[in-house]
Amino acid sequence: MSRKTANEAASSASPVSDFEQSLDALEQLVEKMEHGEMSLEDSLAAYERGVGLYRRCQSALEQAELRVRLLSDPQNPAAAENFAALSPQSPNDA
């Protein structure tokens, strides 16, 4: 039996695991950029990588939201409320 390559293992990772890894990498990248010791070329490359990581995080969150919608109402997931609509109300709204 052959062992999985790193790419195969990464592609089979759960969206939650992928989100956590991408978020950690993004936080480290932002920290490096905030120190301001990178060249312009390195900063542009880091920014480009950051945008890719952000998109991976956003995609993982969208997948998680879809899973919750499917679990909440498997017959009609589109009828489930958006997460933004479920945010707690402020005391002035009550």
Q: For each of the chain's 94 residues, which pLDDT tens digit applies?
A: 444 444 444 445 677 788 999 999 999 999 999 998 899 999 999 999 999 999 999 999 998 888 888 888 878 767 766 666 555 554 455 4
| Residue-level pLDDT at 81 | 66
| Residue-level pLDDT at 2 | 47
Q: Is 36 helix (H, G, I), strand (E, B) or coil?
A: coil
| Residue-level pLDDT at 12 | 56
Burial class (CB in 10 A: 0-12, 13-18, 19+), 71: exposed
CB-based contact 5:47 (threshold 8 Å): no
Residue 53, token pair as written in the block = 């990581």
pTM of this structure: 0.63
